[in-house]
């Protein structure tokens, strides 16, 4: 082997070693970028705006928990499957969005159980999380939800997107989140859709990453 060829082989080997070392060092750095996790949640889908929302979330590297109404999951099963395919987590938000605390125990049970069936039948799996409409709950609602293997999830920050909050206001709401906290947003407001890229930027700037919601603690944690 000529001296020139030997030197070329040594240079190639050194470059490969350097590349492997760099890649190895880069993996922990990416993980370390997440100093905490928050729960992005979207209520009231799936709807005619779900596809656009999923596209925006995916483009910006975000995952979220979708609290679906059973009536809409039953009517739009393909969108439930699209939520799962986009990497989202699907949860129970009652069947018709009533004031559950005004219903009988049997009425509450019907709202929750029919939604479990609708989501599972649509390909969304069996939900482990439940959000009562309007955040209204009591001991009976919690008891019925628990009987169906559901953990009740409210929220720490309300984006007020349901109340006409501007895109700027929604982004400011996200900026208030701290590790483990959950924010309420909705599937349908146009301002929420417009806020998605800035939500991603805001979380990144604060070292926060979108996480899953633990059925055990009800807090946002790293996706498993």
CA–CA gap between residue 160 and residue 115 (Å, rounded)? 25
Cβ-contact 131, 154 below 8 angstroms: yes
Among residues 30, 43, 109, 156, which one is catalytic?
Answer: 43
* CA dihedral over 172, 31, 152, 60, signed as positive or negative: positive
Please report, in angstroms and rounded to a whole number, the separation of the first and last CA atoms in the chain. 51
Among residues 44, 161, 186, 187, which one is catalytic?
Answer: 186
Cα–Cα distances in angstroms (integers) from residue 10 to residues 22, 56, 150, in the given order: 18, 47, 60
- Burial letters for 163-202: b for 16+ Cβ neighbours within 10 Å, e otherwise? eebebeebbebbeebebbbbbbbbbbbebbbebbebbbeb
H helices present in 60-164, as ranges: 70-75, 77-85, 105-121, 139-147
- How do 208-210 and 182-186 pair as beta strands? unpaired
Active site residue 43: yes
CA–CA gap between residue 197 and residue 58 (Å, rounded)? 10
Alpha-carbon Rg of the chain, whole angstroms?
A: 22
Active site residue 186: yes
- Positions annotated as catalytic residues are 43, 186
């Amino acid at each position: 082997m000529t001296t020139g060829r030997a030197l070329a082989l040594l240079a190639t080997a050194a470059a490969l070693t350097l590349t492997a070392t760099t890649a190895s060092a880069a993996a922990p750095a990416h993980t370390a970028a997440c100093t905490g996790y928050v729960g992005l949640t979207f209520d009231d889908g799936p709807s005619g705006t779900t596809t656009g929302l999923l596209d925006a979330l995916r483009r910006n590297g975000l995952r979220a928990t979708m609290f679906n109404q059973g009536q809409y999951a039953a009517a739009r099963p393909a969108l439930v499957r699209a939520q799962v395919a986009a990497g989202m987590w699907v949860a129970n938000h009652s069947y018709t969005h009533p004031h559950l605390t005004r219903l009988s125990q049997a009425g509450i049970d019907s709202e929750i159980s029919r939604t479990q069936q609708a989501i599972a039948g649509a390909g969304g799996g069996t939900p482990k999380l439940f959000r009562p409409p309007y955040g209204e709950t009591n001991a009976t609602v919690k008891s019925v939800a628990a009987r169906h293997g559901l953990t009740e999830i409210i929220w720490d920050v309300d984006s007020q997107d349901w109340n006409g909050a501007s895109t700027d206001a929604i982004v400011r709401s996200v900026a208030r989140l701290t590790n483990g906290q959950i924010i309420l947003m909705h599937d349908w407001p146009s301002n929420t859709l417009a806020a998605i890229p800035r939500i991603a930027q805001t979380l990144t700037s604060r070292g926060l990453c979108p996480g899953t919601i633990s059925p055990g603690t009800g807090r946002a944690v790293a996706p498993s």
